[in-house]
Amino acid sequence: MTFDFPAFLVLASVLTGGIWLIDALLFAPRRRRLADAAGAQVEEGKFGYREPILVEYARSFFPVIFAVLILRSFLVEPFRIPSNSMMPTLLTGDFILVNKFAYGLRLPVLNRKFIELGEPQRGDVLVFKFPLDPTTDYIKRVIGLPGDEIDYRNKTVFVNGEPMGQLPIGAFSGEGSGIEMTGAREALESLDGVEHRILTRSNAPNLPFGCQKLALGSIRVPPGHYFVMGDNRDNSNDSRCWGFVPDANLVGKAFAIWMHWDGARDGLPIAWSRLGDGIH
């Protein structure tokens, strides 16, 4: 069973805040009156009556839980990269930060947008709810915008009939969990001026096994949807396999790496050089 952390934060905020509010409105005044009538001594900075332990905990935890809820829902949310599908941009074990307001503010749990602030642009690294299983978060790069015609031939992305340029870099050298990609072809791809590195294998099929969305040629991105791909082109489960990402599934734009921990690395599992890197 998947743990729904946003739902937990909302429930915990409602519960602790509700206990604190109900007590403040209904029970605390009565306790103060009883304390005054009994002649209780009130020290500076302290209550002159005993506060129930449940209320004390609720009053203490509510501000913290509510602050985390606001921060995580509307500003920044952390994620961990679990696979190699975005290599070499992102590696297994990267801990990233995602801008939650880049594509508009959404209500937690309901994920319903209530303020429009922006839309994904071609080349953005996007976190979204997997359309086939909304309980799972995916991260890919935006290739096609609504209305674009997308094709993928000979390891090259075509947008509206135009090939997206690639500048060869050489053979990739991986380490840790990414060592399996050693020897892959590394290139610098430009998506309308957004440059990023990609990996391909010359001996791999043009489309990953089982990915048939582009098998018959180009497809057009419908309104309110996006076409996404992993930078590790021959090792990515993306729009070539299952189709488009609807706007309702957007989570946010990845913008920075704050930690890298990969137990498969030789020596220390932390890659210090990746800490603080921006995501492009």
Q: Is 239 one of the annotated active-site residues of the chain?
A: no
Active-site option among 85, 177, 236, 239: 85
Active-site option among 100, 129, 140, 253: 140
Q: Is 100 one of the annotated active-site residues of the chain?
A: no
94 neighbors 81 (Cβ within 8 angstroms): yes
Q: Nearest Cα to 55, choosing from 97, 26, 35?
A: 26
Region of 26 on the Ramachandran plot (φ > 0 left; ψ -120 to 50 alpha; else beta): alpha
Pair of tokens at residue 30 = 């009565």
Q: Helix/strand/coil (H, E, C) string of the chain?
A: CCCCHHHHHHHHHHHHHHHHHHHHHHHHHHHHHHHHHCCCCCCCCCCCCCCCHHHHHHHHHHHHHHHHHHHHHHHEEEEECCCCCCCCCCCCCEEEEEECCCCCEECCCCCCEEECCCCCCCCCEEEEEECCEEEEEEEEEEEECCCCEEEEECCEEEECCEECCEEEEEECCCCHHHHHHCCCEEEEEEECCEEEEEEECCCCCCCCCCCCCCCCCCEECCCCEEEEECCECCCCCCHHHHCCEEHHHEEEEEEEEEEEECCCCCCCCECHHHCCCECC
Dist CA 254 CA 227 (whole Å): 17
User: What amino acid positions are annotated as catalytic residues?
Assistant: 85, 140
